[in-house]
Amino acid sequence: MGKIPDISYWQGYVAFSDATKAETDYIIHRASCGTAKDQRFAENVAKICALNVPYGVYHYVMALSTDRAKYEAEAFYNSVVRTKPAYMPTIWFADVEDPPLVWKDGKALPMNPNIKPICKAFHDRLRELVGPDAKIGIYSGESIYEPYGKLSSIGWDGLWFANYSKTPATPHHLHQYTSKGQWNNRTRIDLSKLGPIGTLEFLTGVAQTAPGVPVQQQDDPPAPTSTEKIDTPVEIMAKCTAGKSWNLRKGDGASYGRDSYMQFGESLPFVAKSASGWVCVRKGNDLVWVISKAVTLVSKATEAPVDDVVQPAKKHIVRVTEPYAWNVRCGDSASYGKLLIAYQGYEWEYIGTSITGWYCVRLTDGTIGWITPKAAKVV
């Protein structure tokens, strides 16, 4: 049987080769610690995938509250998917130590009595992100797992215990038995072996595809089917038909900064109409807003007025309803830059719907953003 090492930034540069593959059954790599990505993760996982070696990932939990635990689960997930590996890990481990890596003045703080709700919050948030079929495991000491932490009821798929003097009594999938193992011409490597309920098939099973889609690809919309989509059978232009010139602003109101101007007679591609009565237009690669009294919506082909563009009702919100992580962008397609990452349950004020089907939203700081209907609904 080959070796099962676990590695991280602390091993420094690792030279992978065919010889590495020959002696290795499985690799577990730290992806993150707290909210920070492991500095060697992207480099090493690219090499692991190049050798076609199956691998898992772990996160060193530092959270002292359930809210922080959820945030760390998101950081763990993003550390992996943003790396865009050739294939995804087959199991995601939470590294839970006693206490969860909490130090002050060089000394470990006393045991955290909230260890169970913290671990459950981490587990449940990660489950929402990776999907129902991915494996989530725990790495810990046997006494932390039970009886102190009472963590067995959380529903871990895989149990990985560390004990350098004896075999853990609790049935487990993996046993980390040494920190001084030899692997890949290196010494002082953490090595594990299969436990009484562990099999290579369990570890190396087909990687789940749900979390394998990089975050930046989550917002590529399908052909829009949303009932909120504006029905535009012809290509629509916003033509300036009043006054001499009007401010084009960065949002749907005069409180937003001025971007440029729109002159009388000028026509720009129509994007959306907001509940506040402003019209979003495309100027070059930018999406900007003009007050509706300045323009008339017309057919690009005939310049005949278009009367069937729906102005959304007020007081609607857009809520992210789908799991995984989604980009909120500064324009109405995946070609625009990212503003932030959103997760299931996030919600904002609804402004309007683009002709591409994307929803325009007002973020909590007032910034205008766009999100694919694949991720969210107007409610």
114-138 pLDDT per residue, tens: 889 999 999 999 999 988 889 999 9
pLDDT recorded at residue 179: 94
pLDDT recorded at residue 351: 86
Domain spans of the chain, in order of start: 4-212, 236-299, 317-378
236-299 folds as SH3 type barrels. (2.30.30)
Of the CATH numbers 1.10.10.10, 2.30.30.40, 2.120.10.70, 3.90.550.10, which one belongs to the domain with range 317-378?
Answer: 2.30.30.40
CA 264-269-334 angle, to 5 degrees, is 145
Q: Which residues pair with 28 in a beta bridge?
A: 6, 56
pLDDT over 70 for what percent of the chain? 85
pLDDT recorded at residue 59: 96
Provide the 3-class DSSP secondary structure of residue 323: coil
Least confident residue range of 3-17, 185-199, 303-317, 338-352: 303-317
pTM as predicted: 0.55
Helix (H) or strand (E) holding 326: strand 325-329
Span 167-195, average pLDDT: 95
How confident is the model over 45-73, as pLDDT tens digits? Answer: 999 999 999 999 999 998 878 888 998 99
List all residues 6 or more positions away from 139 whose beta carbon is below 8 Å from its beta carbon: 58, 93, 94, 95, 96, 160, 161, 162, 176
Tokens of 271: 């994007």
Least confident residue range of 198-207, 329-338, 366-375: 198-207
- Whether the Cβ atoms of residue 347 and residue 319 lie closer than 8 Å to each other: yes
Span 232-250, average pLDDT: 82
Q: Do domains 4-212 and 317-378 have the same CATH topology?
A: no
Residue 194 scores a pLDDT above 70:
yes
When pLDDT is cut at 50, 70 and 90, the band that residue 209 belongs to is very low
Residue 377 CB coordination number (10 Å): 17
Q: Which CATH superfamily is domain 4-212 in?
A: Glycosidases (3.20.20.80)
Concatenated DSSP letters of 201-250? HHHHSPPPSGGGS-GGGTT---S---TTS---SS-EEEEE-SSSEEEEES
pLDDT recorded at residue 235: 75
pLDDT recorded at residue 110: 53
How confident is the model over 291-325, as pLDDT tens digits? Answer: 999 999 888 877 888 765 555 555 688 998 886 67
List all residues 6 or more positions away from 266 whose beta carbon is below 8 Å from its beta carbon: 239, 240
Gap between the Cα atoms of 162 and 178, Å rounded? 8
Nearest Cα residue to 266 out of 289, 287, 296, 293: 296
Span 148-169, average pLDDT: 92
Average pLDDT of every residue of the chain: 83
- Whether the Cβ atoms of residue 9 and residue 29 lie closer than 8 Å to each other: no
- DSSP 8-state class, residue 321: -
